[in-house]
Each structure stands twice: as structure tokens, then as C-alpha cells.
């Protein structure tokens, strides 16, 4: 590149340029504008005589006189990509000294643009046969004419001044018809994006471009409009292949992104899965869709033999076949288990060729491709997994690597879930073993209970309940809840239940019993707490005595269905309470129901305990209310007690429907109570002194005769005499005798002493001390309980069998 002193007096104008020089002239004009030059020319090689011809010129007008002083011409060679010089680009600058580096780069870039337009033309894809190559034989015109891309030039009025062969094909016009026409008169142009691009280019004076469809042609085209001093140059390029590749790459990126998202979801689901079934469901929901898989079988080795733990997409008939076959008869399974490497089978034909033993049952699966994946956790083979496809499939290297990696995640999740299932099963068995299998039968109470474990995936809790027969036909109803979940809580629940049984046998009142339980819980640890409600119902008085340690209140359902909660304040839970506990009494009408429950039934994250108790009351009222209206006899329907089991089911159905999942264990105990009646309970005050024994024997004889229990008269007289004699000798009055005719015959003697009678071994020479031994020998059970005024010693005897019905007289 060099600068020489100008001797040019005139230069050719644009009128002297050949036709079809639009892009060349545009490159020249850009160079002139960017360099601030006075003008420029482009000369190219010509095989005709002379060797060089003018291809384009701009800014230089013939006029008389010399050019400005100090101006000069700077030129640069035009060299094609293959190194062939094809012309010279020269500009007239009005400046002193040489060009700087930036200006030199501008000139070189312009020469490069020209060289690009002068590169050999590619073969035309379509030859319309309607347009002829322009005459003149100029090299540049021939190059532009044969370009695969469409090239159009417009003047300022949007009239076509040049169109190469590709451009004519796009316009659907012949060469002799196109020059001089307005571009927008061609209907095909109006249906493309060219009008919008034209408007932007004209408005801004900057190049504009767009991708568009072309009427009557498949694919996409890119249109670029470059403003020129005398109009526009339009360059139309077929970009169908590029768009197709971009669409394929975009689809591949979307597929990869979706797969990554699905795999991330699978990883999260496996991390959250607790049980084996949770893991299988996560794999079926999250792993199969990204691969387009339709079937899944997971089998774990148990006792040396694979066992199916989950499946999806397979017919049940085929699964039964797989379960019944030993692994040795399935060579694909044997190979996976022995080699610990995956097997990929792309079609049924490949499966049959590699494993002929599967031909007999393969068609039943309905699958066309398989991936057998070993499940290895902690370097131990725990089973295998089969991912199947409904169509033949080629497994790419990426597919294989990803499936193998995922099988490792699934193996660890299954191993963790299997351990959880085993622990959960042991905890449930422990909990069920600690709860009563059946409730004891007592005459004054008909009871039923329900236990609802928490939703699957939750650990076992410490909810428990019990019914304990007491002396005097009384019944203890107890329910409790150890706070927390797990094996430790279940074991603590068992210890508390055992302790309650022991303390109940001591006939302790509710407040004292809870005091002892509180000490026990405190000894188990500072961070252990439990709630408990202990209730004692006496059918002789129809009075319910109870005490609560942080437990939800007792519910009483009256015979008419009315449900109420006694307005009492519960003491703090066991482990946090400071005794004494408060005892409460409430009279229970005949035919009522006592309802004990744990907080899991009435409280959750979505329902507070007050709303839960209101719902419980509504459910009990609906289930226990007597039918409205008269009976078939025309009288009002009597209020009869309902079956407690039916009431339990009605409450569970209302508060915990089948579609709901409780987040805490729940226990429910409902007891229908009955009173003994005045004819079944009799009581007499006895005088002080030895005469009391004779009075007791007399009362016993008369009452047993009235009850037609004469068989028990002699034994009962002796028992009453010994109990009264013990009071006379060792205690103090006032003294009272009571007989209760229930499921057994009960004889009770009460006094005002708090001294506990003790059985002792009498020596052979002792004249006394054998009274309690005689009582224990004559009765089925005996014991002592304390009352508000002293103590009561009681005995129980089994009733004689009922007399058989009289035989009919012989006729």
C-alpha cells in the first residue's frame, strides 16, 4: 500500500461503470466515507486487450483545474482467498503524510470485501432457463451473475437497477422484464419480510436484515439491505440448512435441559423416598420419561434369591411368569448378576439371539428394547433393575453412561429404603405387641378402640390405650401419648402401659397414679414427655372420676347424642408436671359413652385442636343421636346405646377419611357405660363390736336368698365374718357391708382405718392370724382399696352356672 502525488485531473464518473457493479461500488463507497477521502476507483483485471478496466468509481467528478494541493492517491491490491491479484482499489485523500494504522486497516478491509465479491461463483442450484447472463463478458459481471445468493440493487425510487440470476428466480421474473420495475410491484416480495427491512434501512440509513419465508419455496432465507448513496443493495441468502441445524441443536439443548431437570427431580425424589415403594415410584415417575421408557422391574436379592419389589408398565401375566422362574432359567439376569455389568438389548431379535432361553416368554412382556442394570450399593450386589421400551431403541453411549450412573443412585436409595422398611416393620410390630390385642369384657362397660398409624413414611409413635377391670365392678379407662416418634418412644409407651397396670392393681386413685407415672417419666430422661388421661367409672354410683396430665379432655356422649367436654383444666404433661394432680368427678347418665382420644385425631398442621374437638363433637352427635320420629308402634323411639365399634368407625370416617393422610399416630377408645341398678347393689351399716359379725352373716343370708344365690351363702357368710372380725380386732369404725351382684358376687367391708391388712404365715401354736389366708382360699380374688374415709377390703366369687330350663312334661 503506497501513496503517490496526484496527477489526476479528471476521473470517470458512475456513468462509466459497468452494470452489475452494485456490491463493488458499495465497498468502495464505504472505504471513501470511512477515510474521509475525496473519491475512489476500483479497477479489476480484464482478459481483453488493455488488461485492466474500471469496475467502480465514486466522488471524483471531471472538472477543470487541478485537485487540492497536498492531495494524493492511496491504493491497495485486491487479492482473492487463493492469493490471485484481481484488481486495485484506490482513493484520493486530501491529507499530508502517510495513513495511520487504523486507516490502513479500513483500506485493507474494503479490498477484502471486493475480493469476496470477486470469488469464483458456486454452481447454481436451479436454472430457470428464462434469464440470460448479461452481455459484455466482464469478469465481475459474470461473477455476480452466477452467485448462488440473490443480489438486487435499487435506486432511490425502489426501482430495480440490477438483478442476478438467483435474484430473478426469487422474483419469478425474466431478465428483460425486471430492470426498471418497482420492487414492490412483484407480488412475491410483498409476502416476505423485505418491506419491513426496507423501511428500517431507509429510516435509519443503516443496514437492516431479517429471516423470512419465501412464497413458493421451502425453507428460510436471510435478507440484508445495505444503504448506498444512490439506493439499496439487497442480498438474499438461503439459510434453510443453517436454520435446520440450529433447530436441531436447539431441540438437542432442550432435550438435554429437560433430561437434566428430570434427573435433578429424580435425585431429589430418591433423597426424599423413605420406603422401597417410594423409591420404585420415584424411578417410574422420574427416570422412565426422560428416556422414553415404558416398563420397569426392580428386584432385590433376599435370602440369596431375587424378589420383585416393584414394577411399572408390564402386564401382570408376564410378572407372574418372572416371579415363578428361578434366576438360573433367565440367562440375561444370570449374566448381569454374575458379571455385575449392564446389558443393553436394542430389539427382540437381538434379545432372542443372545439369550435363546427367553424366546418362550419374551413376547408376553410387550417390550421391544431392554436395559438390564445391576444394582450395586457399598460394593455389594443387592439386585438388578430392568428399564424397558415399547419400541426398538439404539442405546447411544450417552444413554448407556447415564443409565449406569442412575442405576447407582437407585441402588443406594433402595438399600437405604430397605433398611428403613425393616426398622419401621420392627417398630410397628413392637407397638402392636404392646397395645392390647382385645379389650377385656366387663359387665358395666362395652368398649371398642381404634389405632391409626401415621401416614406411610412416618415413624411409629407412642400412642396407647387400655381398659383395666377394677374391684367393685369398676373399670379404668386409660389413654396416653409419648411425645415423639421412633423405637425409643414405642418402648417407652410399653413401659408406661405396664406401669399403669401395676398401679391400677394397687387400687390407687387417678391423681396418685399419675403422680407415680410422673416420677417414672422423670427418671427416664429430662427430654422425655408424655400425656395421659386416667378415668375410673363406678357403675354402682354412675360416677366417673378422672385426672389428666396434659391430655385432650374426656368427651361424654349422652343418650340423646349430645356431646360435651367437662370444663376442667388439664395439668402439665408427665415429665414436666409438679404433683399433686387434680381429680375431677362427673356423673354419667345411663346409656352414655365415654370417649378418650389422642391429639393425632383432632389436631394437625392444618387444623387446630379447638376446631378438631368441635369436629369430633359433631361426628359423635351425628353417629350417636337416636332416630327421629315415632317407632313402628307409634311411640317415640327410645334412646338406646349404640355399638361403640360403630361409633369408632363413624368418627374415624368423619375425621380421617380414606383419602387423608395423618401425620401423627391417633388412638380412639369409646366405652358405653351401664349402671348396676339398685337391685344389684345393697349396703348396710354394721354396729361396733363382736356383734357385727353375726349381723353381717344375717344380712348375707337374706340377700343371697333374694338373689337366688343360696349356693354361695355359706362361703359368703364365712368371708363376711372373717372380714368383719379383722376390722373389729385391728381397725376402727364406722363399719359397712356391701354386696354387689354383677358378673361376680362381690362382698365388701369398709372401715375408717388407713391400715393396710397384710397376710402373714401363722405358727402352729398361734391361735389367730389365719383370717386372710382363709379369705384368699375361699375367694377367687381379694384385695384392698382406699376410700375418702378409710379403706375397703373386698372379695370376689364366681357365680354358679345358670340352671338348665325345665324339661317339658311327658305327654
Which pLDDT tens digit goes with each residue over 752-780?
988 877 766 655 544 455 778 889 999 99
* CB 395, CB 370: distance < 8 Å: no
Query: Edge to edge, what strands does the sheet with 305-312 contain?
Result: 305-312, 295-302, 380-389, 369-377, 343-345
Q: Domain 681-798 carries which CATH code?
A: 3.30.565.10
Residue 734: asked if its preceding bond is cis (omega within 30°), the reply is yes
Note the pLDDT tens digit of each residue in 457-481: 455 678 899 999 999 999 999 999 9
| Neighbour count for residue 253 (Cβ, 10 Å) | 10
More confident position, 749 or 292: 749
Predicted pLDDT of residue 170? 87
Q: Identify the residue with better confidence: 70 or 612.
A: 612
- 126 has a pLDDT exceeding 60: no
Predicted structure pTM score = 0.57
> What are the tens digits of pLDDT across the range 487-529?
778 888 888 999 999 999 988 999 999 999 999 998 887 788 9
CATH 3.30.450.20 fits 139-238, yes or no: yes
CA 614-619-625 angle, to 5 degrees, is: 120
* Residue 530 zone, left/alpha/beta (φ > 0; ψ -120 to 50; rest): beta
Burial class (CB in 10 A: 0-12, 13-18, 19+), 130: middle
Mean of the pLDDT values across residues 553-559? 94
Give the whole-angstrom CA distance, residue 286 versus residue 265. 7
645 phi and psi angles, rounded to 5 deg: -65, -40
Residue 517: its pLDDT value, please? Answer: 94
Q: What is the DSSP letter of 574?
A: B
pLDDT score for 460: 66
Residue 97 has what pLDDT? 63
Region of 20 on the Ramachandran plot (φ > 0 left; ψ -120 to 50 alpha; else beta): left
pLDDT score of 48: 52
**Calpha distance 611→613 (Å, rounded):** 5
pLDDT at 6 over 50: no
Q: Is 676 helix (H, G, I), strand (E, B) or coil?
A: coil
- What residue has cell string 415429665? 575
Q: Does CATH place domain 438-626+639-673 in 3.60.40.10?
A: yes
For residue 340 the three cell numbers come to 455385575
CATH tag for 249-425 (out of 3.30.450.40, 2.60.40.10, 3.30.565.10, 3.30.1490.100) = 3.30.450.40
Question: What pLDDT, in 10s, does the model give residues 187-227?
Answer: 888 888 888 888 888 888 889 999 999 888 888 999 999 88
Report the alpha-carbon distance of residue 633 to residue 417 in Å, rounded.
62
Residues 6+ apart with CB under 8 A from 631: 637, 638
User: Which runs of consecutive H residues, i.e. helices, occur in 118-212?
Assistant: 139-145, 165-171, 175-178, 187-190, 194-204
Task: List CB contacts of 439: < 8 A, sequence separation 6 or more.
Answer: 447, 448, 449, 467
Same fold, 2-117 and 438-626+639-673: no
Average pLDDT along the chain: 82
Cα 726 to chain centroid, rounded: 70
Q: What is the DSSP letter of 586?
A: E
pLDDT score recorded for residue 491: 82
Distance of alpha carbon 493 from alpha carbon 462, whole angstroms: 5
Q: Are 87 and 114 in contact (CB under 8 A)?
A: yes
* CATH architecture of the domain formed by 2-117: 2-Layer Sandwich (3.30)
Domain residue spans of the chain: 2-117, 139-238, 249-425, 438-626+639-673, 681-798
Q: What are the backbone dihedrals phi and psi of residue 145, each rounded to the nearest 5 degrees, phi first?
A: -65, -35
Q: How far is CA 412 from CA 84, 166, 402, in A?
A: 67, 63, 16
Plot region of 172 (φ>0 → left; ψ -120 to 50 → alpha; else → beta):
left
**What count of other Cβ atoms lies within 10 Å of the Cβ of residue 217?**
14
CB 295 within 8 A of CB 367: yes
pLDDT of the residue at 140: 55
Confidence of residue 631 (pLDDT cuts 50, 70, 90): very low
**Residue 745's CB: how many other CB atoms inside 10 A?**
23
Amino acid at each position: 500500500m503506497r501513496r503517490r502525488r496526484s496527477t489526476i485531473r479528471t476521473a470517470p464518473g458512475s456513468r462509466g461503470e459497468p452494470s452489475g457493479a452494485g456490491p463493488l461500488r458499495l465497498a468502495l463507497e464505504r472505504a471513501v466515507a470511512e477515510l474521509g477521502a475525496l473519491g475512489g476507483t476500483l479497477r479489476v483485471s480484464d482478459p481483453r486487450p488493455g488488461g485492466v478496466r474500471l469496475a467502480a468509481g465514486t466522488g471524483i467528478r471531471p472538472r477543470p483545474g487541478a485537485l487540492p494541493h497536498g492531495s494524493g492517491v492511496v491504493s491497495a491490491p485486491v487479492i482473492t482467498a487463493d492469493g490471485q491479484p484481481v484488481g486495485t482499489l484506490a482513493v484520493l485523500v486530501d491529507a499530508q503524510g502517510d495513513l495511520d494504522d487504523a486507516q490502513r486497516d479500513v483500506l485493507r478491509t474494503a479490498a477484502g470485501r471486493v475480493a469476496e465479491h470477486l470469488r469464483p461463483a458456486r454452481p447454481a442450484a436451479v436454472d430457470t432457463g428464462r434469464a440470460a447472463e448479461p452481455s459484455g463478458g466482464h469478469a465481475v459481471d459474470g461473477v455476480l451473475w452466477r452467485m448462488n445468493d440473490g443480489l438486487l440493487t435499487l435506486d432511490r425510487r425502489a426501482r430495480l437497477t440490477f438483478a442476478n440470476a438467483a435474484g430473478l428466480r426469487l422474483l419469478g421474473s425474466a431478465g428483460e422484464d425486471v430492470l426498471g420495475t418497482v420492487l414492490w410491484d412483484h407480488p412475491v416480495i410483498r409476502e416476505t419480510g423485505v418491506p419491513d427491512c426496507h423501511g428500517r434501512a431507509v429510516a435509519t440509513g443503516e443496514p437492516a436484515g431479517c429471516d423470512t419465508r419465501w412464497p413458493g419455496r421451502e425453507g428460510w432465507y436471510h435478507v440484508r439491505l445495505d444503504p448506498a448513496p444512490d439506493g439499496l443493495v439487497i442480498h438474499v441468502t438461503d439459510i434453510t440448512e443453517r436454520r435446520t441445524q440450529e433447530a436441531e441443536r436447539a431441540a438437542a439443548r432442550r432435550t438435554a435441559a429437560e433430561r437434566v431437570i428430570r434427573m435433578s427431580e429424580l435425585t431429589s425424589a430418591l433423597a426424599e423416598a423413605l420406603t422401597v415403594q417410594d423409591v420404585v415410584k420415584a424411578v417410574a415417575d422420574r427416570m422412565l420419561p426422560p428416556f422414553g421408557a415404558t416398563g420397569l422391574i426392580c428386584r432385590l436379592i433376599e435370602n440369596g434369591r431375587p424378589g420383585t419389589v416393584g414394577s411399572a408398565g408390564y402386564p401382570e401375566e408376564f410378572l407372574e411368569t418372572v416371579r415363578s422362574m428361578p434366576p438360573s432359567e433367565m440367562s440375561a439376569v444370570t449374566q448381569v448378576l454374575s458379571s455385575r455389568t449392564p446389558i443393553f438389548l436394542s430389539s427382540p431379535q437381538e434379545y432372542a439371539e443372545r439369550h435363546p432361553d427367553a424366546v418362550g416368554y419374551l413376547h408376553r412382556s410387550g417390550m421391544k428394547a431392554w436395559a438390564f442394570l445391576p444394582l450395586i450399593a457399598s460394593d455389594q450386589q443387592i439386585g438388578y433393575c430392568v428399564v424397558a421400551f415399547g419400541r426398538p431403541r439404539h442405546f447411544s453411549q450417552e444413554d448407556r453412561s447415564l443409565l449406569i450412573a442412575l442405576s447407582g443412585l437407585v441402588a443406594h436409595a433402595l438399600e437405604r429404603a430397605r433398611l428403613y422398611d425393616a426398622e419401621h416393620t420392627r417398630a410397628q410390630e413392637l407397638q402392636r405387641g404392646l397395645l392390647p390385642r382385645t379389650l377385656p369384657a366387663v359387665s358395666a362397660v362395652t368398649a371398642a378402640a381404634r389405632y391409626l398409624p401415621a401416614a406411610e413414611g412416618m415413624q411409629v409413635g407412642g400412642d396407647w390405650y387400655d381398659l383395666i377391670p377394677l374391684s367393685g365392678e369398676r373399670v379404668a379407662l386409660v389413654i396416653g401419648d409419648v411425645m415423639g416418634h421412633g423405637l425409643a418412644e414405642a418402648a417407652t409407651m410399653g413401659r408406661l402401659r405396664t406401669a399403669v397396670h401395676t398401679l391400677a392393681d394397687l387400687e390407687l386413685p387417678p391423681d396418685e397414679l399419675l403422680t407415680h407415672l410422673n416420677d417414672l417419666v422423670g427418671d427416664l430422661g429430662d427430654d422425655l414427655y408424655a400425656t395421659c388421661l386416667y378415668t375410673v367409672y363406678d357403675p354402682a354410683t354412675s360416677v366417673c372420676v378422672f385426672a389428666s396430665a396434659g391430655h385432650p379432655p374426656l368427651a361424654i356422649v349422652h343418650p340423646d347424642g349430645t356431646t360435651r367436654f367437662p370444663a376442667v383444666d388439664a395439668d402439665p404433661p408427665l415429665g414436666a408436671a409438679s404433683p399433686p394432680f387434680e381429680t375431677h368427678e362427673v356423673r354419667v347418665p345411663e346409656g352414655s359413652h365415654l370417649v378418650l382420644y389422642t391429639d393425632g385425631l383432632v389436631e394437625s398442621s392444618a387444623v387446630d385442636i379447638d376446631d378438631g374437638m368441635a369436629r369430633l363433637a359433631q361426628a359423635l352427635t351425628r353417629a350417636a343421636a337416636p332416630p327421629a320420629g315415632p317407632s313402628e308402634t307409634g311411640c317415640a323411639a327410645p334412646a338406646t346405646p349404640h355399638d361403640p365399634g360403630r361409633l369408632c368407625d363413624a368418627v374415624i370416617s368423619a375425621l380421617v377419611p380414606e383419602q387423608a393422610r395423618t401425620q401423627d399416630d391417633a388412638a380412639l377408645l369409646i366405652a358405653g357405660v351401664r349402671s348396676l341398678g339398685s337391685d344389684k347393689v345393697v349396703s348396710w351399716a354394721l354396729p361396733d363390736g363382736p356383734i357385727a359379725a353375726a349381723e353381717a352373716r344375717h344380712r348375707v343370708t337374706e340377700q343371697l336368698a333374694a338373689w337366688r344365690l343360696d349356693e354361695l351363702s355359706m362361703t359368703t357368710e364365712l368371708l363376711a365374718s372373717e372380714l368383719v372380725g379383722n376390722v373389729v380386732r385391728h381397725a376402727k369404725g364406722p363399719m359397712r357391708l356391701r354386696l354387689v351382684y354383677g358378673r361376680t358376687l362381690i362382698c365388701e367391708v369398709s372401715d375408717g382405718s388407713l391400715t393396710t391388712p397384710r397376710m402373714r404365715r401363722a405358727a402352729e401354736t398361734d391361735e389367730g392370724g389365719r383370717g386372710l389366708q382363709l379369705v384368699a382360699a375361699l375367694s377367687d380374688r381379694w384385695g384392698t382399696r382406699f376410700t375418702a374415709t378409710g379403706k375397703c377390703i373386698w372379695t370376689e366369687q364366681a357365680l354358679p352356672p345358670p340352671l338348665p330350663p325345665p324339661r317339658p312334661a311327658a305327654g
